Amino acid sequence: MLDTSEKTTELGVFLPVGNGGWITSTTSPQLPATYDYNKQVAILAEEMGFDFALAMAKWRGYGGPSKHWDITLESMTAMAGIAEATSRIGVWGTVHTMVFHPAVVAKMTAVIDQISKGRFGLNIVSGSNPSDQGQMGLWMDLDHAERYELAEEWLTVLKRLWTEERVDHKGKHYELIDCMSNPKPSVQPPIICAGASDRGFLFTMEHCTGSFMLGSDHDDFIKTGLRAKELAAQQGKPGFKTYGLFTIVPGATDAEARERVAYYDSGVDTIALDNQTREYSGDKSFKQNTMAQRFVSQGESRNSMTRAALVGSSETIGRKLAEIVKGAQLDGVTVIVPDFIDDLRTVGTEVVEVLAQNGVMTNAYTHQKAAQ
Ligand SMILES: Cc1cc2nc3c(=O)[nH]c(=O)nc-3n(C[C@H](O)[C@H](O)[C@H](O)COP(=O)(O)O)c2cc1C
């Protein structure tokens, strides 16, 4: 069993760059998805000692009365701004491989590397929703495995442009002739992917430095996390990092937190959920597409948010989260909350304290103690 006493678990915030955050409801906090709001969240996270702020990439909303995700900030430009507005926290942006040419991303990342002074990280998405990128004609008619093949070529080109003076490449999807890309990033940015299928995970393990992962419940999280660590050890990649994504709904008591979820469920936006289901069901590789299956099942169950959410008092959440972090040997935790100011503050103060009491140390906790 891993000795967690000497390890620091990274803590990150999944920035609400889409309106409404991750709750599809008219009765949940109607987060605005403005740059100013997200900047405020990132600065708060930095002040509390969080390690990274991550922005997703999403191009199309789901409508309905909540207009869920009808407004989304573009990820890389938002993180460039946030890089300038912060000084310590890691700034992680997301690209869809089908949307940007790798040579464009090589330059974008090098610029954000300069703005952030080496704090940038890249989340790569091979694509799971045909309508999202299809609405602008950028969805390619590839099956799930082919999308990861494209991502492999894409990342090979990107890494070469980051390190080589001139690149010649003739592949299936990209052709570069004596391609120059300067400036180079000052450090090779961490590259993360959330590929959860076997194919997606293999891609992530081979080509990235870390993996984002989800669990449908406590046991599933532990199983998924341990499988990743075992595979990493087998493949001689002991430094490979795993980051769990957790939706956290805190309350003064467990009952109060459960009431919050019930209240958000009372306003569940079934029209937006149906639109989401329809879009994801359109993938010809639906059977292999684990994200599509998750969203469709949430839509069918008519829940406003994932049932894997950690709901309760800070004590309850901290205890359960510590069990998963230790059991799954996670290197990091990425947090979603209903309200990214008050609830994030609860996570960054109370929950990290309970985590520490249960053997999970975070920089946020150390930071808090040093300030007292
Ligand atoms: C933390 C996290 C962040 C993600 N970010 C995005 C994103 O920004 N845009 C997107 O389209 N998909 C995003 N995804 C979905 C994944 O990229 C991926 O499609 C999904 O996990 C399914 O894996 P699979 O392709 O191997 O089936 C994210 C998933 C997780 C868990």
Tens-digit pLDDT profile for residues 163-191 = 999 999 999 999 999 999 999 999 999 99
The alpha carbon of 172 and the centre of ligand 1 are apart by a number of angstroms equal to 24
Amino acid 290: pLDDT: 84
Amino acid 1: pLDDT: 38
Of all residues in the chain, what percent carry a pLDDT higher than 70?
98
Q: Tell the burial category of 38 from Cβ atoms under 10 Å away from its Cβ (0-12, 13-18, 19+).
A: buried
For residue 195 and ligand 1, the question of a CB distance below 6 A is answered with yes
For residue 192 and ligand 1, the question of a CB distance below 6 A is answered with no
Amino acid 176: pLDDT: 98
Atom index in ligand 1 nearest the CA of residue 288 equals 27
For residue 249 and ligand 1, the question of a CB distance below 6 A is answered with no
The alpha carbon of 329 and the centre of ligand 1 are apart by a number of angstroms equal to 21
Task: Evaluate if residue 298 carries a pLDDT over 90.
Answer: no
Task: Evaluate if residue 23 carries a pLDDT over 50.
Answer: yes
The alpha carbon of 371 and the centre of ligand 1 are apart by a number of angstroms equal to 36
CB 16 within 8 A of CB 55: no
Task: Evaluate if residue 24 carries a pLDDT over 70.
Answer: yes
Task: Evaluate if residue 259 carries a pLDDT over 80.
Answer: yes
Q: pLDDT band at residue 293, thresholds of 50, 70 and 90?
A: confident
Atom index in ligand 1 nearest the CA of residue 294 equals 22
The alpha carbon of 215 and the centre of ligand 1 are apart by a number of angstroms equal to 13
- Classify 7-371 by CATH class: alpha beta
Q: How far is CA 81 from CA 36, 84, 192, 296, in A?
A: 10, 5, 21, 34
The alpha carbon of 124 and the centre of ligand 1 are apart by a number of angstroms equal to 8
Task: Evaluate if residue 213 carries a pLDDT over 50.
Answer: yes
The alpha carbon of 306 and the centre of ligand 1 are apart by a number of angstroms equal to 15
More confident residue, 197 or 118: 118
Amino acid 296: pLDDT: 83
| CA-based nearest residue to 24, from 63, 82, 53, 75 | 63
Least-confidence region, from 1-15, 51-65, 138-152, 248-262: 1-15
Task: Evaluate if residue 106 carries a pLDDT over 90.
Answer: yes
| CA-based nearest residue to 136, from 164, 90, 165, 96 | 96
Whose C-alpha lies nearest to ligand 1, atom 13? 125
Whose C-alpha lies nearest to ligand 1, atom 5? 56
Whose C-alpha lies nearest to ligand 1, atom 9? 57
pLDDT by residue (tens digit) across 60-87? 999 999 999 999 999 999 999 999 999 9
Least-confidence region, from 261-265, 291-295, 368-372: 291-295
pLDDT by residue (tens digit) across 307-324? 999 999 999 999 999 999
Amino acid 199: pLDDT: 92
The alpha carbon of 281 and the centre of ligand 1 are apart by a number of angstroms equal to 16
The alpha carbon of 310 and the centre of ligand 1 are apart by a number of angstroms equal to 20
Least-confidence region, from 231-245, 248-262, 321-335: 231-245
Mutate to test the pocket of ligand 1, among 155, 202, 291 (most ligand atoms within 8 A of CB): 291
pLDDT by residue (tens digit) across 144-157? 999 999 999 999 99
Give the relative orientation of helices 314-328 and 218-234 as an angle to the nearest 10 degrees. 30
H helices present in 282-313, as ranges: 290-301
Give first-to-last CA distance, the chain, whole Å. 33
Task: Evaluate if residue 2 carries a pLDDT over 50.
Answer: no
Average confidence (pLDDT) over 239-245: 96
Amino acid 3: pLDDT: 45
Amino acid 5: pLDDT: 54
More confident residue, 232 or 120: 120
Domain boundaries, the chain: 7-371
Task: Evaluate if residue 109 carries a pLDDT over 60.
Answer: yes
| CA-based nearest residue to 150, from 110, 212, 99 | 99
What stretch of H or E contains 235? none
For residue 334 and ligand 1, the question of a CB distance below 6 A is answered with yes
For residue 212 and ligand 1, the question of a CB distance below 6 A is answered with yes
Average confidence (pLDDT) over 215-236: 92
The alpha carbon of 171 and the centre of ligand 1 are apart by a number of angstroms equal to 25
For residue 99 and ligand 1, the question of a CB distance below 6 A is answered with no
CB 51 within 8 A of CB 12: yes
